[in-house]
Each structure stands twice: as structure tokens, then as C-alpha cells.
Amino acid sequence: MSNKSLRILVTGAGSGIGAGIARELAAQGHELIVTDLSAEEAAAKAKVINDSGGKATAAGLDVTSDEAIAAFCKQLAGPVDVLINNAGVQHVSRLEDFPMEKWDQLVQIMLVGVARLTRALLPGMREQEFGRIINIGSIHSLVASAYKSAYVAAKHGLIGFSKVIALETADTDITINTVCPTYVKTPLVEKQIADQARVHGISEDEVIETIMLKPMPKGVFISMEELAGICAFLTSPAARNITGQAIVVDGGWTVQ
């Protein structure tokens, strides 16, 4: 694996998986660009990285806005080596009760936003003849859960999007892959536990045991170290021919 320091942009890095991956990759010596819809949260996470001896800058970024992305890209000094599309939100509701503006918001952030930002950064990657695009998908890129129609649709879409961009970038040293973990203990998942308990009429402990961990033969939450390690591998020379793939991190869920 290469020891070369890479310039890595992570979206939705103000909290949860994005913050964890940014922190881990910075500890490996990479330069991080920490972005989040909340500029304050992004700045706070970049400060933690810098205070611990890493190198990070921060910016507020709305991936649903062409104008915001264009303005952000103008401020970038030089190309981005690695783009980690992680920004995400969740809404748990049966379709009949699902507000369509909320449905659209989820798809705009987690699918259209990924296309917007990837489209904006690809020319720089092409120019330097190197780029790694890593989409943070989900087990829900492969299977479904009730009451998550927008999330599951958006995460399934990432795999199709990645396959197409893999073909479009096959003429240069650019790869795109989708990492698909089961549940990672984040604030988003903590909120889901409460939402699922309400929708299903069961306790939060039962949600963890019967809905989240029961389908996983290994029966444990996925760690930030695992996700960051997979991202680091995908940026390495050893992974230069891995593209358009779904990297499934599911404790055996989908082999049953």
C-alpha cells in the first residue's frame, strides 16, 4: 500500500461516518478537506484533526446545489485526489405517510448530489491522470428494509451510478466504488433506533437485536476503523483495477 499523502475530500464529515473516516485517514498522514452542510460542524472536526497533529481544512457544502458546488470548487487550491461521497440523511416512514418533499430531499443528497460533486471534480482528476471516488453506500444498496423507500432507492442508485462512471473513466487511472456497510453506531443510527422502535412498537433494545444485528451472522456493528481501512485500500495501487464494485461489509448478511 502506498505511503503517498493524498488530498481527500469527505462530504457529510461534520458527524458520524464521515467524521470518523476523515479522522482515521488524517491519522494515516493524508490531507483532509472536511465538508458538511454545517460549516461550523465541519470546522470543529477539522480542528480536532489539526489539534491531533493531522492536516485538515473545512468548508460548508450543500451537495444539492450546483451554485454551492461551483463556488466551493473555485476555492479549491488544486485537484482533489480522493472524493468520498458520504453525505446522507434518513427518514423512516411508510410510503403513504412519507412527505414527497422529504423523499426528494433524500435522493437529492445521496444520489443526485453524488453525481453533482463527482461531475465537478472529475475534470481535475482527469487532468492529473489519477483519482479515486468512494461512495459510502449501505447494506441498503443491496437489500431493503420496510419504511425506508427513499433511502433504499438512493443507495441502490449509487451502485448503478458507480458502474457507469467506472466505464466512463476506464481510459485513465480513476476508479469509483461503493462501500456498503451494515449498521455503524452513529448519531444517524441512534435516531433510527428510536424511529424504528416507534414504528414497530417495540423497545430500542429489541430494534438493535431483532432488526439491526439479527440478520448479521457476525452480530456486531461495523467500526470506523474498518470503513477507513477499506477506503485506504481502495486509494492504494493494489486496488487500481477495482472499479464499479460494491464492497460489501455486512458480517455475512447477504450470503444467507
Determine, yes or no, domain membership for 160. Answer: yes
Number of domains in the chain: 2
pLDDT level of residue 195 (50, 70, 90 thresholds): confident
pLDDT band at 6, cuts 50/70/90? very high
186 pLDDT band, cuts 50/70/90, is confident
pTM for the model: 0.93
- Give dist(CA 140, CA 154) in Å, integer: 9
The separation between the first and the last C-alpha atoms of the chain, rounded to the nearest angstrom, is: 32
User: Residues of the chain with pLDDT > 70: what percent?
Assistant: 99
**Does 37 have pLDDT greater than 90?**
yes
Contacts of 222 (CB under 8 A, 6+ apart): 181, 182, 183, 184, 249, 251
Residue 200 belongs to domain spanning: 184-221
Residue 197 lies in a domain: yes
Count of all residues that appear for the chain in the document: 256
Mean pLDDT on 89-110: 97
Q: Is there a domain that residue 255 lies in? A: no
Q: Is the pLDDT of residue 132 over 90?
A: yes
Residue 59 lies in a domain: yes
Residue that has been written with the C-alpha cell 500500500 in this structure: 1
Domain assignment present for residue 2? The answer is no
Q: Looking at 96-142, which runs of residues are DSSP E strands?
A: 131-136
Q: How far apart, in whole angstroms, are the C-alpha atoms of residue 172 and residue 243?
A: 12
The catalytic residues are 151
Together in a domain, 12 and 137:
yes
